[in-house]
Amino acid sequence: MKFFFYLTKNHPGLPAAEAKALIKAFDGKVIKEFDNVLIAEAKGLKPERLALTHFSCELIDEAESVSNLDLAKLSSFPFNSFSVEAVKLTEKPVQSTQIIKKRVGSRIKGKVDLERPEIVFRAFVSHDKIFLTRQISKYSSVEERRVNSRPFSHPASCQPRQARTLVNLSGIKSGGKLLDPFCGSGGILLEAASMGVECTGLDLDGKSVEGARENVEFFDLGESVSVEQADFFEWSGGEFDAVVSELPFGKSSKLFGRTKKEVFDVEKVLDHLKPGCKAVLVAPEELEVPGLQQFFEQRIHKSLSKFVHVIEKD
Ligand SMILES: C[S@@+](CC[C@H](N)C(=O)[O-])C[C@H]1O[C@@H](n2cnc3c(N)ncnc32)[C@H](O)[C@@H]1O
């Protein structure tokens, strides 16, 4: 299937990296990339997973004008009600979005429902092309597990959109095993588990362990998550398909007597990763790490940035 991803511009480089990591995880390939658009081909990919994409869609056809689009393809989708939307990708689109909406809409049999359509056909219009798509998912869908909707949180709790981006960067698939060695209130575990990933979380702080368990139960994700109270540096669990974590950095996330240098040493993290798999580690500063593949700044708010390190084990 061909996918059309319309990415946000939230953090430089991150939306495209997140989508590409997911495409790669499903053995797909990017066919085209321009502005904040990615077009890709992949089988079995679940685009609902993406946190930094406005719209994930199935690409139905593309043409220079609406009269050259194969609108007969739209009748192959089963639906009772529909809506047609159009998004300008550029200041001067090749054809007016109003005309495109009207012409596409007039060729579709079924009831128009602008409030709750069963299917949304979305045209994306660049300076020289119209991309006709069927919408699969959109940006707002990860908000239900926001920090203030959880029974337990602390100042360092990770919001779902951030956590989801990190899990996706690791390229882990549903059914894979993920470790968060510093899980705190479980922000990363919640998102990974909601994607069908089996999760192990560790934290040395007893209150955080209880809180993470409470959060996991609250969202009915208990079956795929285990949370242990343990000092990661003394822990001898097995190897995982991904390690995704926000490292402790003092202040609201305790270091338990260790220095930042000790805690930011990623060798121990790599010991728990299977070869060829990825660790995605967040720190308040840029770390010097072996096997660094990608590095991003994730701006949380005006005065706070987190630094995302993607490391692949040989
Ligand atoms: C930045 S916070 C994690 C926040 C988490 N992502 C969340 O959503 O709540 C880091 C966590 O590491 C824990 N921690 C610090 N040293 C640890 C150690 N040696 N072993 C395990 N956990 C540790 C702290 O208690 C803290 O909860």
Q: Cβ of 275: how many Cβ atoms within 10 Å? A: 9
* Domain boundary residue, one of 140, 164, 192: 140
Give the number of domains in the chain.
2
* Domain boundary residue, one of 78, 109, 140: 140
303 in the same domain as 155:
yes
Any atom of ligand 1 within 6 Å of the Cβ of 282: no
Per-residue pLDDT of 62-107, as tens digits, reads: 999 999 999 999 988 988 899 999 999 999 999 999 999 999 999 8
CA of 248 to the centre of ligand 1 (A): 5
CA of 287 to the centre of ligand 1 (A): 17
Q: Which domain holds residue 307?
A: 146-312
110 in the same domain as 67:
yes
222 in the same domain as 259:
yes
Please tell me the number of Cα atoms within 13 Å of 53 on its side-chain side. Answer: 27
Per-residue pLDDT of 213-254, as tens digits, reads: 999 999 999 999 999 999 999 999 999 999 999 999 867 778
Please tell me the number of Cα atoms within 13 Å of 150 on its side-chain side. Answer: 27
301 in the same domain as 154:
yes
193 in the same domain as 97:
no
The pLDDT, as a whole number, for residue 180 is 98
Which CATH number does the domain housing residue 106 bear?
Answer: 3.30.2130.30
Any atom of ligand 1 within 6 Å of the Cβ of 168: no
Q: Which atom of ligand 1 is nearest to the CA of 156?
A: 4
* Domain boundary residue, one of 105, 140, 175: 140
Cα(243)–Cα(271) distance, integer angstroms? 10
pTM for this entry: 0.94
Q: Cβ of 180: how many Cβ atoms within 10 Å? A: 30
151 in the same domain as 129:
no
